[in-house]
Structure 1
Amino acid sequence: MIRLVAVDMDGTFLSSTKDYNRERFAKIYKEMKERDIKFVVASGNQYYQLKSFFPEIAEEISFVAENGALVISEEEEMFCGRMSDDLVQDVIAFIKEHPEVFMILCGRKSAYTSEKEPEELIALGRSYYHRLEVVEEITNSIEDVFFKVATNVPVDETTHFLEFFNERFSGRLEAVSSGHGDIDLIIPGLHKANGLRILQEKWGVRSDEMVAFGDGGNDLEMLRHVKYSYAMENGSKESKEAASHIAPNNDEEGVLEILEQLLEIK
């Protein structure tokens, strides 16, 4: 019996136009709600951006945001990770040595980037971070609780920077890729699967009662954690190896199609 459904957003639940079939999903969600099946949005994106996709139901669903660093369920904060001040300072100093790397410092109250960054990257950042403050310079003197550093690197150097970051911050941070040159530096262990475990404890849900959908490197732990895991047809090789099933392309509304099959909705 399925009791929880977790979905990644970009490249998975959302189409290439950054939207989803709201009418079709509304019917699925109505059926899920009647059966008391929990719906969880599990993404590397900011909580404030994620909830904007679900204005009618945001207060009754759950969010594993920032790749698991922030868990909010039915508007109640269940978990918030924290990087030490020394670690934040080290990361900022290190990235500043590499001007080709775009950086967003992610905090509980807001995300932050520097006015010195390229305007087109700042504009792109705003599409993922609805709360994004552009400051004169990124420093650890900004008053907030920081739990993630989001970076964007040249696409053809993604693998290099993944290895580079993981070697430099071994044991302190973990670099995960969500594609298109985007690399998040997260606190080790604070991934999407950990966020799901927190929600499982709240509801008493077992991993063999869960379905998850993903497409990228930041979905691997989540896909391995649940019994019914689906990598998108458009997903990475690693996500397909981690999942037990393949779902149709995100532009073919693959998540909604599989959910209709699982819930036997015609």
Structure 2
Amino acid sequence: MIKLVVTDLDGTFLNNKSQYDVELFKKVYAEMQQKGVTFVACTGKQCERVEKLFDEHGKGVWILGDSAARIKKDGQVVKEFSIDRDLALQAIDQIQDFDNNMTLIVCASDAAYVHSSISEDMYKVVKGSYERVLKTDSFANIDSRFIKITVFDTEGRSTALRAHVENTLGGQIYIVDSEARWLDITALHTHKGETVKKLQEMLGVTFEETMSFGDGENDVELMAIAKYSFAVSNACENTKKAANFITKSNEENGVLLTIQKILDLQ
């Protein structure tokens, strides 16, 4: 019997316009609650952005946000996994050494920070995934705990950037290039798979009782924590290979329709 459903958002639960079928979600989520199934949004988005996304429909939803570096439920932070400050600043230096014109988003416990020189167009891109955004003249001036570092590169060089940072900090931090334009850095061993395992322990849910959905490179670990792991049909090849099943695409409500079918069987 399924007790836990974990899904990535962008490219998986959300369609290509970053939207979801609200009416279908309300119907499926009501059935999940009736049957005692916990729903988890596991994403690179800031927790507060996810709260706004689900709005009044998200009561009881667990959010593993900021690339699973924060756990939040019903407005309360349950747990955070911060990066050592010195390592975070070293990583920022390495990124800026690679190309100082990339868009850096430094996520801290109080907000996501961008450089004050950010263009209006890039600021709009950031606001698509981050609700609380502050500008700073120097990331070294951030007083709160570092949670995650994200890079958006319009030239799609995330793989090369990852190699550059790993040359200095490999084995000390966790780095994933989720797609060509996006790269995320979190504390070592902090990623979607490990954070879901911690949540499974908190909730007393097993691997056999878990269902997961994903599409990107950063969802490969998400496929390993659930017996019923699904890649949407638009997923990258590595995630498809890691998944036990393939379902419909993010444009076809693949996640919600699959959950609905499984719930009908239990």
The residue correspondences of 1:58-137 to structure 2 (distance < 5 A) are 58-97=58-97, 98-135=99-136, 137=137
1:71-109 per-position Cα deviation (integer Å, ceiling 9, x unaligned): 123444332111222112212222222224210100111
Mapped contact 2:26–2:57 kept (Cα < 8 A): no
C-alpha distance in 2 between matches for 1:74 and 1:2? 22
Matched residue, 1:248: 248
Partner SS state of residue 44, structure 1: coil
C-alpha distance in 1 between matches for 2:95 and 2:161? 11
C-alpha distance in 1 between matches for 2:142 and 2:172? 21
Length-normalised TM-score, structure 2: 0.94
The residue correspondences of 1:151-170 to structure 2 (distance < 5 A) are 151-170=151-170
Mapped contact 1:44–1:218 kept (Cα < 8 A): no
1:115-170 per-position Cα deviation (integer Å, ceiling 9, x unaligned): 223321121101111101122x2322211111110001244423222222233321
C-alpha distance in 1 between matches for 2:264 and 2:176? 35
C-alpha distance in 1 between matches for 2:237 and 2:173? 24
Matched residue, 1:218: 218
* Corresponding letter in the other structure for 1:80: E
C-alpha distance in 2 between matches for 1:14 and 1:256? 10
Partner SS state of residue 53, structure 2: coil
Which runs of 5 or more residues in structure 2 are unaligned? none
Length-normalised TM-score, structure 1: 0.94
* Corresponding letter in the other structure for 2:95: I
Partner SS state of residue 141, structure 2: coil
Aligned-residue Cα RMSD (Å) equals 1.6
Partner SS state of residue 31, structure 2: helix
Matched residue, 1:198: 198
1:193-212 per-position Cα deviation (integer Å, ceiling 9, x unaligned): 22212221222100110000
Which runs of 5 or more residues in structure 1 are unaligned? none
The residue correspondences of 1:178-197 to structure 2 (distance < 5 A) are 178-197=178-197
Partner SS state of residue 55, structure 1: helix
Identity %: 28
Change (3 A) 1:163 1:93: closer
Mapped contact 2:175–2:185 kept (Cα < 8 A): yes
C-alpha distance in 1 between matches for 2:95 and 2:212? 33
Mapped contact 1:213–1:231 kept (Cα < 8 A): yes
C-alpha distance in 1 between matches for 2:155 and 2:239? 18
C-alpha distance in 2 between matches for 1:28 and 1:158? 36
C-alpha distance in 1 between matches for 2:178 and 2:141? 28
Partner SS state of residue 52, structure 1: helix
Deviation of the 1:16 alpha carbon: 0.6
The residue correspondences of 1:231-242 to structure 2 (distance < 5 A) are 231-242=231-242
**Deviation >6 Å, runs of 4+:** none
The residue correspondences of 1:51-62 to structure 2 (distance < 5 A) are 51-62=51-62
C-alpha distance in 2 between matches for 1:49 and 1:3? 25
C-alpha distance in 2 between matches for 1:141 and 1:69? 21
* Corresponding letter in the other structure for 1:140: A
Matched residue, 2:13: 13
Partner SS state of residue 224, structure 2: helix
Matched residue, 1:43: 43
Q: How many residues align?
A: 264
